[in-house]
Structure 1
Amino acid sequence: MVKALEKNSKWQGRKGPVVLVIMDGVGYGKYSEGDAVADAHMEALADFQKNWPTTRLKAHGTAVGLPSDEDMGNSEVGHNAIGCGRVFSQGAKLVSSSLETGAMFSGDTWKKLVGNVKKTGGKMHFIGLFSDGNVHSHIDHLKAMLVQAKKDGVKSARIHALLDGRDVGETSALDYIDPFEAWLKELNADGSDFRIASGGGRMFITMDRYNADWSMVERGWNVHVFGKGRLFANAHEAIETWRKEIPGIIDQDLKEFVIAENGKPIGTIEDGDSVVYFNFRGDRALELTAAFETGADFDKFDRVRVPAVEYAGMMEYDGDLHIPAQYLVTPPAIDRTMGEYLAASGVRTLAISETQKYGHVTYFFNGNKLGKFDEKLEDYVEIKSDVLPFEQRPWMKCAEITDYVLEAIPSGKYDYIRLNFPNGDMVGHTGIYEAVLCSMEAMDLQLARLKKAVAAAGGVMVMSADHGNADDMFEHEKKSGAVSRKEDGSPKAKTSHSLNPVPCIVYDPAFKGEYKKELKEGLGISSLAATCIELLGYKAPEDYDVSVLNWN
């Protein structure tokens, strides 16, 4: 439990609520070509940037707890940083450290996984995102575990590869599959049997989140557990075949594949096996974990049978519910979040987004914890997302989110409102430029609506983002910065997040010079917590990263 925040005698806050708008995936582009944020017709955002205090915040790398500034930020760590007001070492960094020190392999969970298959003669399975995107996973972590498994006497292992094309190049799957197959061949030179057994695109199988589309998980379950799916001789053949049969398909949407010999899958999951979900990020790992760990009351799809296995996640994906039961690396202990302090201080809060980002303004914002800090003071609202490709509805649910907030602002019911517009990120991941432009302009219409409501209520609106994405929609050559192009001359789409800074804009229509119009520079998005706390009329905790505000 935390103590109530100390009130600021020099600043009592405004009459209306403080509204934090997280424009997910909206940054300041490095290149003129491919910056859909700059290219979109966004009158409201342009007006905010021109006439109200504005600065740029870091939203990637060490500023959000990742290993280096070469690592792009993501929605999980971004909302963690915004919500807890400080920087904690995050998944990729923790896993890498655990591997370097050997702590993972000396832990009880690893020993149990290995000991199980050595006892039963079963296989050790590794399921996860197959790339070096470092957002959900890293292929080097997988390699390190396979090497150690061999050292520890595991004879047979199977890899279930979820193809990326989202945190890395949209058609880069073979850049990972082919070298990995060559690497496996060397690893197997002495008779070990470590092979890729199944796979498919991350947005087609397995990696659903927030209960948005359990059919993805069901397809993944059938592929990984039962080997049900189209059969191929190897992963390379599967990828090439799907690309020929479905022109223009990108890796994240590739159909499922099962590797077979003599007409039989080589890697079904059976009783006595061990299974590792090697993704370290929690949101897209919870549902498959539930399929493995939930008892007879599981009702999301017919599992047919649940193999009796030793199952473990790379990390604990839910700290409150302790999911999964076993994990290899202890996650950061994120405590004393902004939400907890506000609840202790009696601040009435609304958190809202659509399904795709609902967990980010609740679970991740609250330090990877489900539930509320105070049922009486907090309302969490989920607007159901459409279950269809985002490029078909690039406006997503930004208008519906705004509709709800427009009623909440003048109601007098809330002191603080936080919302997430997912458009820039979710549509940005499609790689379809025209759709991203549309998504940005749809969001801009909502910013204009919010502006009127905040002004009428005498409130303050802070606009920022958790990371960039829509601002960097084309692949660029590293040395020259020129746009990478396909054979037909069109730009190669980029579907991953960017390394670009994000906006921080303070719209305060009742401003009377209490602070300087020039905001602090060089800060990270973790500074948003102290900023909002100060605007609410409180003093931020001493160890929180400083606010962007320069008080007079």
Structure 2
Amino acid sequence: MSEWRLRPHRHWAPCPGPVVTVVMDGVGIGRRDQGDAVWLARTPTLDRLEQGSWLPLIAHGTAMGLPSDSDMGNSEVGHNVLGAGRTFDQGALLVENAIESRRMFEGEAWRWIVGPPAGGTGALHFIGLLSDGNVHSHEDHLHAMLREARSVGCPRVYCHVLLDGRDVHPTSAHTYLQRLEAELALLSGDGFDYRVASGGGRMVTTMDRYEADWSIVERGWHAHVLGDARGFASAREAVETFRAEVPNVGDQRLPEFVVVDSASSEPVGRIQDGDSVVFFNFRGDRALEITRAFVEESFDGFDRVRYPAVRFAGMMQYDGDLALPPRYLVAPPEIAGTMGELLAESGLRQVACAETQKYGHVTYFWNGNRSGRFDPALEDYIEIASDRLPFDERPQMKAAEVTDAVIASLRRSPPPVFLRLNY
């Protein structure tokens, strides 16, 4: 339990509640011009609330524990800070510091990953989001690990790249692929083979979250592990072909693919027994399911067809309660004394409500990257099932259903003291 405690304030009378905290993802204070969708929209409730007491909060950069003020905020860091009431060094900064200080490469997990057989006959595989968005990953982290793998003598290294187009420009994949392929070319030769082996858009390949759609992870498994996807001579050829076939498609929705050998047409980098695998995203929500597929022997998310015996490590540990993955390169932030924990210790009832796509935001992230309840008798977590549709086809998502569930909770007798919800 936390050493923190809730105590009566000397100057404020106790609040009987209920208190409701509403997190509206994507809504903020903008430039108030023709490019500001929130300012242009009809928002009578927000307009009315603005007539009362309020103050702006910074939701990006160093105020959120990110490396610099040029780093945009995101759901993970925002809910961490809201739930804890304090700022912690977040994954992006922790990884950056671990690489610069070489603590990552001197750590037991990295030495285990690059040791025999990956340093001998086995291959080393890197899977993750290829961009510089710094929300789930950063390309610089991958490039640093590739160079280190080469310096310690890993002969065969394959990258399985998930294309972004969400935290960066929608069609910027070529930029990141060009930089990666240039790096791989420099590292190859003299008996070393470094190349891109597979990939796909992040919203259809590998990076599902909160078990919303296991088929996304299954498609990634088929591409990365089985080599079972449409084949191309290179990742850039795959991107160019898909864009020609489906005009206006963004990177995040490009289908899965594999890179094949020009002579044999066989995939160049299937994941095999004896290989090592690093999932290089530092953020946990979209990393946890593929992690489970690699480390759980009794796995039931989908039929893996083949389950290779590999050494697997995450960039960070994505769930401390479940100890997943058991091996990781950088220790995650230690967040204790969160609001949920303090309220539970004080015997106060609370409700957390969101749809599947946001459920972990008001539970796992809010509770300091903790997956369980602090006191099940006092905490009610309500999950509204999300639609399996692109957000642009149903932009309202499940806002109405979330609202109805919260109103129903408020009408209980007695009502909870604190409610948090996410739209």
TM-score (norm 2): 0.97
- For 1:283, the equivalent position in structure 2 comes to 285
Q: Give the whole-Å Cα distance in 1 for the aligned partners of 2:153 and 2:179.
A: 24
The 3-state SS of whatever aligns with 1:98 is helix
What residue is the counterpart of 2:203 in the other structure?
203
Other-structure match for 2:172: 172
Query: Equivalent residue for 1:408?
Result: 409
User: 2:109–2:329: 8 Å Cα contact kept in structure 1?
Assistant: yes
After superposition, the C-alpha distances for 1:194-228 in whole angstroms (9 at most, x for unaligned) are 00000010001000000000000000000000111
How far does the alpha carbon of each residue in 1:305-338 deviate from its partner, in whole angstroms, 9 at most, with x for none? 1100000000000011111011000011111111
More contact order relative to length (CA 8 Å, sep ≥ 6): 1
CA RMSD of aligned residues (A): 1.2
Comparing 380-389 with 185-194, greater Cα deviation is found at 185-194
1:402-456 deviation per Cα after TM superposition (whole angstroms, max 9, x unaligned): 11111222322300111111xxxxxxxxxxxxxxxxxxxxxxxxxxxxxxxxxxx
Conserved? CA contact 1:132–1:140, under 8 Å: yes
SS of the aligned residue for 2:14 comes to: coil
1:93 corresponds to: 93
Secondary structure of 1:180 counterpart: helix
Q: Distance in 2 between matches of 1:14 and 1:413?
A: 14
Question: Is 1:102–2:102 an aligned residue pair?
Answer: yes
The 3-state SS of whatever aligns with 1:199 is strand
Contact 2:143 2:183 in 1 (8 A): no
> How many angstroms apart in 1 are the aligned matches of 2:249 and 2:101?
40
Counterpart in 2 of 1:301? 302
Identity percentage over the alignment?
A: 57
2:276 aligned with 1:274? yes
Cα distance in 1 between the residues matched to 2:49 and 2:166? 31
Task: Give the one of 250, 263, 266 matched to 1:264.
Answer: 266
Q: What's the counterpart of residue 33 of structure 2?
A: 32
Which residues of structure 2 form unaligned runs of 5+? none
Are the structure 2 counterparts of residues 224 and 208 from structure 1 closer, same or farther at C-alpha, using a change threshold of 3 Å?
same
* SS of alignment partner, residue 54 of structure 1: coil
- Cα distance in 2 between the residues matched to 1:282 and 1:124: 21
| Aligned equivalents of 2:164, 2:415: Cα separation in 1 | 43
- Residue type at the aligned position of 1:66: L
Query: Counterparts in 2 of 1:317-466, with a 5 A limit?
Result: 317-411=318-412, 412-421=414-423
Q: Which amino acid aligns with 1:324?
A: P
Cα distance in 2 between the residues matched to 1:396 and 1:16? 28
Question: 1:132 is paired with a residue of what secondary structure?
Answer: coil
State the distance in 1 between where 2:409 and 2:13 align.
21
Question: How far apart in 1 are the matches of 2:10 and 2:63?
Answer: 31
Which aligned segments of 4 or more residues in structure 1 are displaced greater than 6 angstroms? none
Displacement after TM superposition at 1:189 (Å): 4.4
8 Å contact kept, 1:117–1:124: no
Tell me the equivalent position of 2:243.
243
- 2:119/2:152 contact within 8 Å kept: no
**Cα offset for 1:14?**
3.8
Deviations 1:207-264 (A, max 9, x none): 0000000000000000000111111000111100000000110000001111001210
8 Å Cα contact 2:162/2:202 also seen in 1:
yes
2:55 match: secondary structure: strand
Deviation at 1:34, TM superposition (A): 2.5
Give, in angstroms, the shift of residue 4 of structure 1: 3.9
TM-score (norm 1): 0.74
**Is the CA contact 1:16–1:409 (under 8 Å) kept in the aligned structure 2?**
no
User: Larger C-alpha radius of gyration, 1 or 2?
Assistant: 1
Contact persistence 1:67–1:93 (CA under 8 A): yes
Task: Call closer, same or farther: CA 1:250–1:119 in 2, change over 3 Å.
Answer: closer
Secondary structure at 1:159 match in 2: strand
Q: Alpha-carbon deviation of 1:16?
A: 3.5
**Contact 1:232-1:259 within 8 A present in 2 as well:** yes
Task: Show the counterpart of 1:153.
Answer: 153
Q: Is the 8 A contact 1:116 1:274 kept in 2?
A: no
Distance 2:5 2:415 in 1: 20
Deviation of 1:31 after TM superposition, in Å, equals 6.1
